[in-house]
Structure 1
């Protein structure tokens, strides 16, 4: 199938990890992800029902290999001094935004340029988006995952 790019936006809140966790729950509950073991390319008698829990999802060997092509493939947000690793997400710092975008407070208008930030497959990024007055409005999550 190949990897897929994905992105999400949620209203701003100070608790970045809380916003991330809530978004992951929403994507799982609303089935906004690729479920390889229930995919329609498989003969109907071999398709499995949607998992009831994330534990059930990740217990599936095919899901482990193919991923979900969504934020569910990312398990934790790392700190600004940590090195990116498989299934992690890193927030864009103000210094990084200034270097890449020329501003410490990116807006929705900057999103098309976010591909200029460091990124790898099976790794996510996030950034706080601001309004024209510099007030935080959204948290934008994006990445590239799945096989």
Structure 2
């Protein structure tokens, strides 16, 4: 499938980590994320799954690999919140902010959102206090590759009348 870009804007609050947690929960509650199609073999018992394996592959180890993969899938949690959803589909991710499982960091890191530096804010907006409409326009054309890798996000605080007004989250994740 490849990675997907995502962007969200929320009301400003001083605790960016709390805003991120709340946003991840809201995205989960709305169902606004990629959900892996369930593999019908995961509903089988182990005995039933073994019966589907080709005996010709016993010597090559393929059947044992498939059985190990099936067992690992059986141990994955059933999604009840953003974190368990991500844990249930660790290879594909959710193609949303839910994939930012490690929260907020000062520097770019896997599974986190981090702020733009003052230098980046000046380069993108000409100010360290961009207006909401400037950030929204930037988000529409933003290419994260020069400053972030896949599975990393960015946040920008926008200002209205000199006061923080919104937090904008963007990034790209998923496989």
The residue number in structure 1 matching 2:131 is 107
TM-score norm. by structure 2 comes to 0.67
CA contact (8 A) 2:86 2:99 kept: no
CA contact (8 A) 1:87 1:124 kept: yes
Question: Greater Rg, structure 1 or structure 2?
Answer: 2
Residue 127 of structure 1: which of 151, 156, 160 is its match?
156
The residue number in structure 1 matching 2:35 is 35
CA distance in 1, matches of 2:22, 2:81: 15
SS at match of 1:64: coil
CA distance in 2, matches of 1:55, 1:70: 12
Q: Deviations over 1:56-101 (max 9, x none)?
A: 42342xx11111000011121111xx3x222111112334312332
Q: Offset of 1:116 from its aligned partner?
A: 6.0
Cα distance 1:55–1:104, how it changes in 2: closer, same or farther (>3 A)? closer
Instruction: From the two aligned structures, give the one with the greater helix fraction.
Output: 2
SS at match of 1:105: coil
Instruction: From the two aligned structures, give the one with the greater strand fraction.
Output: 1
In structure 2, stretches of 5+ residues that fail to align are: 44-77
In structure 1, stretches of 5+ residues that fail to align are: none
1:67 paired to 2:93: yes
Aligned residues: 134
1:87 paired to 2:114: no
The residue number in structure 1 matching 2:51 is none
CA contact (8 A) 1:94 1:105 kept: no
Q: Which moved more, 1:116-125 or 1:137-146?
A: 116-125
TM-score norm. by structure 1 comes to 0.78
SS at match of 1:37: coil
